[in-house]
Amino acid sequence: MKLLQYFRLWLACARYSITRTMMFRFDFLMWGLVELFWMGVNVALVSVIYEHTESIAGWNKYEMLLLVGSSMIVQRLLMGFFWSNLFELGRNIRSGHFDFFLAQPGNLMFMVSTRKVELEGILNVFVALAIVIYAAGKLHLQPDAATIAIYALMILCGLVIHYSLIVLAVSITFWIIKSEGLEGSYFTLTEFSRLPREAYRGLFKGAASFVFVYALPVVVVSNVPARVLIQNGINLTHALWLLAATVLWFALAVVVFHRGLRRYSSASS
Amino acid sequence: MFPALTKYRHAFLVGLQSNLVYRWNFAIRAFFSLFHLIVVFILWNAAFSGKTEIGGFNLAQTMTYFITLLVLQFFISAFSEDYQISEEIRNGLINQFLLKPINYYLYRFSIFIAARIVSGGLALLPVLIALPLLSGLLDYPTDAWRIAYAIPALLMSALIQFTIAYCFGLLTFWFLEIQSFIILSLAIETLLAGQVFPLDLLPKQLFEISQYLPYYYQMYFPASIITGRADDQTEILRNLGIQFFWVVALLIIAQVLWKRGLRRHTAVGG
């Protein structure tokens, strides 16, 4: 029952956001194009490199495109549903506007994260999806319903992990009021998730694998779902690994956020 | 002539000081650039496995290209000049320049030079620290003639970078919010200026077309001279000509935008 209530709450916020977006149509168009173009840049990189080589770390062109597409789906979902909310959270903590959320009846993390929905991000999810479908078609993949369901679940795990990483980064604002370079650090991290896991092997005496594959969940987020689709089957170890990482990072984000909350002392205006 | 220079010398000195305030921003940016470099290395290292060359260059030469871009960026790229100009138009700060014998373009350009001296200097620090790690990856050609071409190419690149940012800033006369324009054009610039991959890896025809666009001259052109990706001196000379054309064209566009924009400007606040 409670879940339904939250869903209704979210729906109301979403409806409001979309109405607002439609008031500024030109802006909507421009920002939609911005995201589209940045995806185009990544696709261009893949197509140009594969003009000169057949395989990167054992991945052929369309497998790579599928990987890049999967990582883009996660990123666009994050942009559509959470990004601007979390980005503003940092600013609100600094300015004291955060009080407004504290006064709302409801789970604080939910209220803070779901106030706005960015329509252009959500629409671009379909573009990213189209890239994945195109790549899958070129690879002659015929995933069954179970594979697609697992792929969707893994993408969702990826979204939770990205969400948690950003909540963690924003929560730093509770301790040090000035937190710069948040955007930069997120986009730098997502760059790592567009690379195949095998490419990290043995680099910098294994440090690259250790940091980006095992310590930070940036590589597993995109590689595990892409592999599920390519092999039309699930590697149980990888799936459990991703699930564990999801639970772990989300729990960490919840804990750190609430720890930080205790330090919040509002701001005089 | 000389009193005029003194004017902008002061703008330059003030720019130097105010940019030193933002040294941490530049330092953080340089730090993230190193991570970007790691991504680039992992990708190209994997692409090169079992190969000695891609597009006629080995892994070290390819990495030299990306490292050069990264360092050059801090010396010649426009960072937030467009936003600063937009801000000055919106809150009426430019009104004071309309009353004084100061050319707004030259004033902003003096500050731009100061900013690049500061950011370039700061970016050299992490590079120098990382040098022992990078030295195995650096492979520059040693021809002396390259310097003679690289210097004018670099100077004109800086001019093109700044003037494009300046034009985007001036769009504020027409649009309240210019951020989406800037990020949109940034995507195009990133791609066509060769930041994502060396442009010479493009299919031949596309590469030929890219040489007629201003983006080519923002970054790729000087970098290609320095790193040896451009080798044919007559072609370099021709491209210096095209680059000069773009400098002039952009300066004219900037002037037109300024003139037209001022007509719409209502000088609120100030």
**Other CB atoms within 10 Å distance of the CB of residue A1:** 4
**Other CB atoms within 10 Å distance of the CB of residue B266:** 7
Q: Mean pLDDT across the stretch B54-72?
A: 91
Whether A83 has its CB under 8 Å from any CB of chain B: the answer is no
A269: in domain:
no
Chain B nearest CA to A31, separation (Å):
6
Residue of A231, A246, A240, A254 whose CA lies nearest to A112? A254
pLDDT for the residue numbered A269: 47
Alpha helices, DSSP H, located in chain B? 2-21, 23-47, 59-76, 81-90, 95-99, 104-134, 145-170, 179-192, 204-210, 220-227, 233-264
Contact B43 A188 (CB under 8 A): no
Query: Please, which residues have CB within 8 angstroms of residue B4's CB and are 6 or more apart in sequence?
Result: none
pLDDT for the residue numbered A207: 84
Q: Quote the pTM value.
A: 0.88
A42: in domain:
yes
Whether B190 has its CB under 8 Å from any CB of chain A: the answer is yes
Write out the residue range of the structural domain in which residue A32 sits: 2-263
∠ Cα A23 A28 A31 (to 5°): 155
Chain B nearest CA to A235, separation (Å):
24
Q: Which token pair is A67?
A: 């990987």
Number of domains in chain A: 1
pLDDT digits (tens, 9 = 90+) for B187-215: 899 999 999 999 999 999 999 999 999 99
pLDDT digits (tens, 9 = 90+) for B122-134: 888 877 887 887 7
Confidence of residue B33 (pLDDT cuts 50, 70, 90): confident
Contact A51 B201 (CB under 8 A): yes
Whether B2 has its CB under 8 Å from any CB of chain A: the answer is no
Phi–psi pair at B244, nearest 5 degrees? -60, -40
Chain A residues with CB under 8 Å of B201 CB are 48-49, 51-52
Measured CA distances, B22 to A14, A159, B99, B116, B117 (Å): 38, 34, 29, 12, 13
Q: Which residues of chain A have pLDDT under 50?
A: 269
Contact B180 A45 (CB under 8 A): no
pLDDT for the residue numbered B270: 43
Query: Which B positions 198-217 lie with beta carbon below 8 A of chain A?
Result: 201-203
B177 has pLDDT over 60: yes
> Which of A24, A31, A39, A52 is the best mutation test for B, with the most CBs of B within 10 A?
A52
Residue type, B15: G
- A-chain residue closest to B52, CA distance: A53
* Cβ–Cβ < 8 Å for B41, B70: no
B255 has pLDDT over 70: yes
Contact A34 B51 (CB under 8 A): no
Contact A181 B46 (CB under 8 A): no
In the A/B pair of chains, how many CB contacts fall below 8 A? 83
Q: Which residues pair with B54 in a beta bridge?
A: B57
SS3 A25: helix
A125: in domain:
yes
Assign 3-state DSSP to chain A and report helix, strand, coil percentages, each to 5: 80, 0, 20
pLDDT digits (tens, 9 = 90+) for B103-122: 999 999 999 999 999 888 88
* Cβ–Cβ < 8 Å for A106, A6: yes
Q: Give the nearest partner residue to B39 out of A27, A195, A196, using CB atoms.
A: A195
- B-chain residue closest to A57, CA distance: B46
Domain extents in chain B: 2-264
Whether A207 has its CB under 8 Å from any CB of chain B: the answer is no
Burial of A8 (0-12, 13-18, 19+ CB in 10 A): exposed
A268: in domain:
no
Contact A52 B54 (CB under 8 A): yes
Dihedral of CA B238/B244/B247/B253: which sign?
A: negative
B267 has pLDDT over 70: no
Contact A41 B187 (CB under 8 A): yes
Whether B42 has its CB under 8 Å from any CB of chain A: the answer is yes
pLDDT for the residue numbered A109: 86
pLDDT for the residue numbered A61: 93
* Cβ–Cβ < 8 Å for A82, A163: yes
A21: in domain:
yes
A222-236, B161-175, B249-263: the lowest-pLDDT one: A222-236
Q: Give the nearest partner residue to B197 out of A30, A49, A57, using CB atoms.
A: A49
* Cβ–Cβ < 8 Å for B72, B223: yes
* Cβ–Cβ < 8 Å for A173, A90: yes
pLDDT digits (tens, 9 = 90+) for A221-255: 899 999 999 988 888 888 899 999 999 999 999 99
pLDDT for the residue numbered B226: 94
A162: in domain:
yes
Chain A nearest CA to B37, separation (Å):
10
Q: Give the nearest partner residue to A34 out of B32, B184, B203, using CB atoms.
A: B184
Contact A45 B197 (CB under 8 A): yes
Contact B39 A199 (CB under 8 A): no
Q: Give the nearest partner residue to B32 out of A48, A52, A188, using CB atoms.
A: A188
Whether A117 has its CB under 8 Å from any CB of chain B: the answer is no
Q: Which token pair is B94?
A: 């430019």
ipTM: 0.86
Contact A203 B45 (CB under 8 A): yes
Cα–Cα distance measured from residue B114 to residue B11, given in angstroms and rounded to the nearest whole number: 9
Whether B255 has its CB under 8 Å from any CB of chain A: the answer is no
* Cβ–Cβ < 8 Å for B72, B219: yes
- B-chain residue closest to A58, CA distance: B46
pLDDT for the residue numbered B242: 97
Chain A nearest CA to B30, separation (Å):
11
Give CA torsion, residues A237, A241, A247, A252, to 10 deg.
160
Whether B134 has its CB under 8 Å from any CB of chain A: the answer is no
pLDDT for the residue numbered A243: 92
